[in-house]
Amino acid sequence: MATVAEPKSTGSYSADDIDVLEGLEAVRMRPSMYIGGVDSKGLHHLLWEVVDNSVDEYLAGHCSDIKVTLHKDGCSCTVGDNGRGIPVDKHKKYKKSALEVILTVLHAGGKFSNKNYGRSGGLHGVGSSVVNALSGEMTATVHRDGHEYFQAYCRGVPRAPVKKIKPFRGHGTTIFFRPDEKIFRTIHFKSDVIRQHLEDISFIHGGLKITFVDEVKKETHEYSNPDGIAAYLDKILSDEKRKSVHEEKFSIEKDASDGTRYEVALRWTESSDTWVRSYVNGIRTHAGGTHESGFKSGITKAVKNYMEVHEIRPKGIAVGPEDIREGTCSILSVFHSNPMFQGQTKEKLNNPEVAAQVEGLVRAGVETWMNNNSTIADSIIYQVIQAAKYRMARREAVTEVKRKSASSKRVTLPGKLLDCRSTKPEESELFIVEGDSAGGSAGMGRDSRKQAILPLRGKVLNTESLTVSRAVANQEISDLVETLGTGIGPNFDIRRLRYGRVILLMDADSDGYHISTLLLTFLFRHMMELVRQGRVYLAQPPLYRISIGKDVYYAQDDAAKEEILSGLAANRKYEVTRFKGLGEMTPQQLRDTTLDPKTRTLLQVNIESQVEADQTFSQLLGKDASERYRVIMEESTMVDDLDV
């Protein structure tokens, strides 16, 4: 994060100040615009872009095998496929090989029309060239037309023209790349992240064979799942130990008249939360979109129609959409010839027509399925009614109990809590801060009407292996539980939560990260529902203050600082101040950068896989020191500089 506070310009502004970035310069100057960031997620996004190109060959019917190799150094990858091979003949406009054009020119590719790719994820024509621009080294080997062709690049610039190497029987493309360490905070890939992503792809594209060669761990994994998303849903529910309320899952596939293909797999489970994993042309749409909206609406209408037709009208109970969808776990996959993604990272689908198509498919499909399976339908309706009863009981309890009476505020709440004046949980926020000094600055910089501050003294207790009674015996943990008001363990009741958001605000250094990890461990083990319902957030305070003349900038980390400084003229004077802690920031600085909803950045804590999260907490904070040592040794190569 790099934020600007009160910029003041004193110089002239003319045509001489206008820069025009040529070729791939814009990508290197602002990589976050293309890959979302220069952190580990952005690093792995490079690999996903290359893999997606191979998957597009599979979707076009010209590829059956993809091989991904993580090399011994852990910093470079190779992706190969047996597709048609990138064209190498001379491009009429650019007078150079099409291979070079595709890998060095933004918005160049064969996916802007449906002539060569009926459905694909790479529709912006920037994926391969962006990977090239952000790689210190990249090579392309192409097999087609009876020969092998080769070209090498450095930071997006060809080292030499495309060269015909030798005769070759076969076809396909192989891309090797090593991310540029001048761009990314770390260039070490994570084997487990790659493995999980490739396994997911193999389910979404049933029939595609993917081989992952992990030279770091000296392992080879092969993935092929012809049963597709139906098998994928079973695997996820098994891994997360979720119990279904019915035996047979709902699944449906359909090819629409416009060529769009829809695949859906769905189960109702005994869990109280709901999740949908959605994909478009094999790309995970984490932020959802129109396909998810149509899917949710389709489920709601199907169950409502079933209840109306069968005259199921529970007395005194009004069933709502959230009751119908409670406990549903589903996978939705759409293959579209012209998907409109929001941004290059493609995390959200915006095609308006898809919503109605998915809704119609799911509504009719689920309703027919329930009509044909009365036992399954009875189990689902029972769960829906129970969810409605619980919701109504919760609402009645909230209206009966005053959340903040004068006595409870003074007697049961910790004395060090700086509470807010609002009695409405939906607009209230609790900041958990590190130490009394930071608590003082935050207290003076907050909006006292809606923001409460709870300072903690010292490092929080590691509760990973503790019982509830031992955890609450710790004063800091006890204060936190009392402040939240929900109770803990078997007595936890989220209906009594006093704040809509619980925000961890720690120093932007190693000690702060450690304390945040300890708090997340406690919340994960003893207040899981807070995390599941998206109530927990991480604040992003700055680590640096950069003064450049009369302008003041804030940078969250070293990478953001270097990005700001790299844009300065060579002779421009500046001053960098490193905050040793939140207590060193003035209340105004803390308000402008971290507390004010208009200017701050919050990271919501989400759990994609409860199984993986459970394993991570056990490994890093459990009693088995040997397991922790193993993880540290495996991950140590990814750390360039330790903040100790």
Instruction: Look at the block and give the residue holding tokens 């060529």.
Output: 259
In three state form, how does the secondary structure of 183-250 look? Answer: CCCCCCCCHHHHHHHHHHHHHHCCCCEEEEEECCCCEEEEECCCCHHHHHHHHHHHHCCCCECCCCCE
DSSP structural state of residue 37: -
Q: How far apart, in Å, are the Cα atoms of 476 and each of 182, 463, 471, 549, 581?
A: 42, 12, 10, 43, 20
Instruction: Show Cβ contacts of residue 210 under 8 Å, excluding neighbours closer than 6 positions.
Output: 65, 66, 67, 68, 198, 199, 201, 202, 222, 223, 224
Instruction: From the candidates 434, 479, 482, 592, give the one annotated as an active-site residue.
Output: 434
Residue 366: Cβ within 10 Å count:
24
What whole-number distance in Å separates Cα of residue 508 and Cα of residue 513? 7
One of 253, 378, 427, 509 is an active-site residue; which one? 509
Among residues 263, 482, 507, 563, the one annotated as catalytic is: 507
Q: Compute the distance between CA of residue 574 and CA of residue 557 in angstroms, rounded to an integer.
A: 17
Q: Distances in Å between the alpha carbon of 462 and those of 431, 465, 503? A: 20, 8, 19
Could you confirm whether 511 is annotated as catalytic? yes
Q: Which DSSP string corresponds to 562-614?
A: HHHHHTS-TT---EEEE-SSGGGS-HHHHIIIII-TTT--EEE---S-HHHHH
Asked if 551 is an active-site residue, the reply is: no
Given 39, 65, 447, 511, the catalytic residue: 511
509 is known as an active-site residue:
yes
Tokens standing for 258? 């416009």
- Residues 62 and 65: their CA atoms lie apart, in Å, by 10
Tokens read off for 227: 């049963």
Determine phi and psi for 443, rounding to 5 degrees.
Answer: -65, -35
The neighbouring-strand residues paired with 429 are: 451, 501
Burial class (CB in 10 A: 0-12, 13-18, 19+), 76: buried
Q: In what order do the strands lie in the sheet with 250-255?
A: 250-255, 261-268, 328-335, 275-280, 283-284
CB 392 within 8 A of CB 314: no
The CA-CA-CA angle for residues 38, 44, 48, to 5°, reads 125
Q: Clarify whether 507 is annotated catalytic.
A: yes
**Helix locations, 404-506, DSSP H:** 406-411, 435-445, 468-472, 475-484
Angle between helices 40-59 and 191-204 (to 10 degrees): 30
Query: What single string gives the DSSP state of each residue in 148-166?
Result: EEEEEEETTEESS--EEEE
The encoded tokens of residue 296 equal: 């949710």
E strand or H helix at 293: helix 290-309
According to DSSP, residue 90 is labeled: B
Active site residue ranges? 434, 507, 509, 511
